[in-house]
Amino acid sequence: MGYKVKIQKVDRGVTKSFYINFPVAVAESAQIEKGEEMEWLIEDRNMFVLKRTNTKKSVVKKVKKKTSEKQNNRA
């Protein structure tokens, strides 16, 4: 599920800034904290990735699946 946001532009004399607000559901699910440092990665002009600079451990346990190639070699 995606969340739409609007970009805000703020002009302060010679300084220009753009702001993006996080929906609460996104911030809470990612456990984003006030003052946390993030980094923008630009994949292309349509895809922007926001990455934590200090990663946190995932609460989801990852399970490795056996590939069909390994299963075929055992037969």
Q: What's the rounded mean pLDDT across residues 8-18?
A: 93
Q: Which residues contact 22 (CB under 8 A, 6 or more apart)?
A: 5, 32
Which tens digit of pLDDT belongs to each residue from 26-48?
999 889 999 999 999 999 999 99
Sign of CA dihedral 9, 11, 50, 34: negative
The structure tokens listed for 63 are 């399970």
pTM of this structure: 0.61
Q: Give kind and range of the element (H or E) at residue 72.
A: helix 68-74
DSSP assigned state of 14? T
